[in-house]
Chain A
Amino acid sequence: MSQQIPGLPDMTYIDREKRTFLDQIYFWEITRGILITTKHFFRNMAKWLTFRKGGVVILYPEEMRPDYSQNNRGRHILVQRSDGSPRCVACKMCATNCPAECITIVAEESDDSNIQKRPKVFEIDVSRCIFCGFCVEACPVDAIRMAPTTEELAGYNRFRMIYDKKTLMTWKPTVNDDVVHGYNP
């Protein structure tokens, strides 16, 4: 027996103790699932035949999606100063805010007395990262951002998924010194 719960959106909930025989064999539910799949199959085929978008899946990794949102939270970027040093001051706000605890930072004294502090080690374990973007929100100096694209985040082993400072800085979607694309709430 399914029942409608008042005050909640138009959804039905199944009371396990009051199921009828028809409910218990799940025949109708299975059929309904197949019908949904079939519906999408024919709809996609119609799109494909008429050359419309969304027809078939993207053939990753040969093909990449061209239409990531600018606000999509993908791969991390360490933003650079114009001289190529990281803008990061190793304050560890991102590491503190990170719910997955995947950021490791070791600070050191900078040669530049105006900067004073810089990261000696900056590692993000993307195998542990949940891509929540809290590190970007926490950063007081806009030193960490997330690129919209998510390609090539996979790795053959876990250790290759720990991205160090160099890896995070090779990726430079910089237009000029101040404008950096990517997720920045």
Chain B
Amino acid sequence: MEEVKITVDGKELTVAKGTLLIDACEANGIYIPRFCYHKHLTKSGNCRMCLVKIEKTPKPQPSCMTPVADGMIVHTRTPEIDAMRKAMLEFVLINHPLDCPICDKAGECMLQDQYMEFSGDKSRFNETKVAKEKLYHFSDRILYDAERCITCSRCVRFTSEVSKTNKLGLVLRGDSSYVSLAPGDTFDDPYSDCVTDICPVGALTSKQFRFKERVWNLHKTPSICAGCSRGCNISIETKDNQVYRVRPIENEHVNKSWMCNFGRDYYVHPTAERLTSQRSKKNDLDYNTFIKEVTPIFKENGAKMAFIVSSHATNEELALAKQLADVIGVKDIFTKSDREWKEDSGEVKEDDILITADKTPNLAGVKKTFTKAKDISTLTVSPFTHAFVWGVNASVKDLTKLKLIVLSTERDVVSDKADYLIAGQTPAEKHGSFTNIDGLVQPFRRAIRGEQNTSDLQFFVDVLKTLGETPLGRTVDEVRAAL
């Protein structure tokens, strides 16, 4: 790659030829304000906030449309540029309704941030603001407020370039301009919630998150989406142990800046009935008694045990499960997909953007850890007397006739018939790492605390300890270091 030298605010930068000036500056820690520019969309250059002074050019140039050239001398904060940005903001704010108290975007709004940095002036506009549609229901997920819109066209470019549904378009001109659907259409796009993330103001807001909480009260935990095997990088935003919303985090190699609507709902509205404690067939047990009763069963019946592994498990848990299987001499290990696509769910099965057909996060990790594992469809119950079922969706004929030890998060047919049942944790409640469909291993941390559930990892550690073995590690970090 050919490299060029440019000077930005007196700082010498060496960047690849053809890079846009705004990208070159951002990579080197110089932030240029923007509304319409988005890293993963085509550049449109309509907001004029990113104008910079380039020497030997007669006028300021939009840095999102200007590729770097050798010897370019750029100034991003001259008095003229600041005055121009202030004027641009004044234009934008002329018809902006200043709904900040009731706007869900307030606190992460680019217009608020840039007003605070570049303007701070009182309005000089004495005339009447243009009144537009305030509650335009794009779909049952997205609400559009035309007054707040600054017509940056990010959402329009998103639907035409990323989700490729071409649902949105800008109509009319000047101060009457607004984003619209085709007449009678609804914005039913499996990625529609991304427009609420990329909207620089609060024009497009999510109905799911509407008025739930102010954004500055949310605690953001970077995590990996467990909705499918793509492994999108997400930020789980919580308050008081409750998930309020999920947003994508930028990752150039996996999900760029996007994620699907299903992934958001997966964390915010968990549908399944959660299990919360451990029990034997007859009565509830406390954790230590449970481990004491279960361990001999593992020890004595290892060879006759069907060991069914969950694809919601993290790589660290899988490593400990493998150690346990080796210790007790399990011969047959089966993999299963914990969640399968159902035709009537309205969920997209597969597309060429992000959504994959494998609806669980770590099937690749399971196959990598248990190389000799067979698929659950090949499982017949006749050679076995016992089964260890990890996770849900173990749909095998007559499986409930075996003696079952179940480690699961949700209630289902198998867990109801279990001889020993212990509740596990969902991906949002545990530390660990997932291997995505392309073999990329991505670690994540816990976002919420589960209800008194023992972690799956702890269960294996305790069983191994009771068997007299030394587990690979007692915590996620120890296991990860041992691998």
Contacts and interface: CB of A to CB of B under 8 A. Distances in A.
How many chain B residues sit at the interface, stated as a range, is 10 to 19
A157 interface: no
Interface string B127-142: 0000000110000000
Contacts of A141: 101
A117 interface: yes
B210 interface: yes
Contacts of A108: 211
Nearest to A90: B211
Interface of B is mostly: loop
Nearest to B216: A96
Given A89-B101, A91-B101, A140-B100, A113 B135 contact: yes
Interface in B98-116: 100-102, 106
Nearest to B102: A117
Given A89-B102, A117-B102, A107 B135 contact: no
Given A113-B135, A140-B101, A91 B214 contact: yes
Interface in B117-165: 134-135
Contacts of B211: 90, 107-109, 117
Contacts of B101: 89, 91, 93, 117, 140-141
Nearest to A140: B101
Interface of A is mostly: loop
A108 B212 CA distance: 8
Interface string B196-216: 000000000000001110101
A73 interface: no
Contacts of B100: 91, 140
Interface string A79-104: 00000000001111100100000000
B377 interface: no
A140 B210 CA distance: 20
B217 interface: yes
Contacts of A20: none
Contacts, number: 32
B420 to A, nearest CB: 41
B57 to A, nearest CB: 42
Contacts of B135: 113, 116
Interface in A109-135: 109, 113-114, 116-117
A92 B214 contact: yes
A113 B102 contact: no
Contacts of A93: 101
A108 B211 CA distance: 6
A16 B216 CA distance: 49
A83 B180 CA distance: 35
Contacts of B217: 92, 96
A35 to B, nearest CB: 55
A117 B101 CA distance: 9
B122 to A, nearest CB: 15
Contacts of A109: 210-211
Contacts of A113: 134-135
A116 B102 CA distance: 8
B459 to A, nearest CB: 37
A90 B106 CA distance: 13
Interface in A39-96: 89-93, 96
Q: Which of A108, A114, A117 counts the most B-chain CB atoms under 10 A from its CB?
A: A117
A108 B106 CA distance: 17
Interface of B: 100-102, 106, 134-135, 210-212, 214, 216-217
Instruction: In the A-B complex, list the 4 residue pairs whose CB atoms are closest, starting with the nearest.
Output: A91-B101, A107-B211, A117-B102, A92-B214
13 contacts: A89-B101, A89-B102, A90-B102, A91-B100, A91-B101, A92-B214, A96-B214, A96-B216, A96-B217, A109-B210, A114-B134, A140-B100, A141-B101
